[in-house]
Amino acid sequence: MGKRHQGTAPPGHVRIIGGRLRGSRLSVPTLPGLRPTPQRLRQTVFDWLAPVIDGACVLDAFAGTGALGFEALSRGARRAVFFEQDRAQAQAIEADLARLHQDAATVGHVDALRALATPAPEKFDIAFVDPPFGSALWAHAAALLDAHGWLAPDAWVYVESGVGDAWEVPERWRLHRQRDAGAVRGTLFHLGGS
């Protein structure tokens, strides 16, 4: 995933680090403050999700580069849905999906919060939530996911935030794992389970 975070220059590309698409490049349009998920944190997240990724239906909200959604597809996810507000980013994700022959995915050129505020057309087994740092959107996005039927009863939710960011977690979300990588904190929650 990639978000806008002031002062961080994007690389020219991001590589998929595991699965059948390993080594494939994803384009990173030159946009101010684009912040792709650090590679070591992406590896950690997918190590955590390895037991549940195969056959999962995945939502990559605030998709940015789409790296997390692509990693999920590469590692056996059945389907991925990407939400990205920036038109250039959404088009880049669509182009990468076409180039990598990933037909089990759709891209919504939408504001993620606006999309999440509507009744979900399907339930997702895994959701990636990575809004721009400093935007204080985590609690709002989490509440919308929870309230509008976006999550399967046993879903997993990965949230990426700044290390110092605090926000309210829905009551039924249980902390599963957490890791800091520099200024970035990755947290995995599990619904309805331990």
Q: What domains appear along the chain, each with residue ranges and CATH number?
A: 2-191 (3.40.50.150)
pLDDT at residue 5 tops 50: no
- Measured in degrees and rounded to the nearest 5, phi and psi for residue 26 equal -110, 135
Banded model confidence at residue 154, pLDDT cuts 50, 70, 90: very high
Banded model confidence at residue 70, pLDDT cuts 50, 70, 90: very high
Structure tokens at 111: 């504001």
Q: Which residue, 174, 184, 164, is CA-closest to 68?
A: 184
Using alpha carbons only, what angle is made at residue 138 by residues 122 and 19, rounded to the nearest 5 degrees?
60
Banded model confidence at residue 10, pLDDT cuts 50, 70, 90: very low
Banded model confidence at residue 64, pLDDT cuts 50, 70, 90: confident
- DSSP of 63-123, one letter per residue? -TT-HHHHHHHHTT-SEEEEE-SSHHHHHHHHHHHHHTT--SEEEE-S-HHHHHTSPPSS-
d(CA 14, CA 37): 9
Check residue 144 and give its pLDDT.
95
Residues 36, 182 contacting (CB under 8 angstroms)? no
d(CA 54, CA 72): 8
List, for residues 16-59, the tens digit of each pLDDT value: 999 999 999 987 766 555 566 778 889 999 999 999 999 999 99
List, for residues 32-43, the tens digit of each pLDDT value: 555 667 788 899
Check residue 138 and give its pLDDT.
87
Q: Residues 167-180: what's their mean pLDDT? A: 92
List, for residues 73-131, the tens digit of each pLDDT value: 999 999 999 999 989 889 999 999 999 999 999 999 999 999 999 999 999 999 999 88
Q: What is the pTM of this model?
A: 0.89
Amino acid, res. 149: G
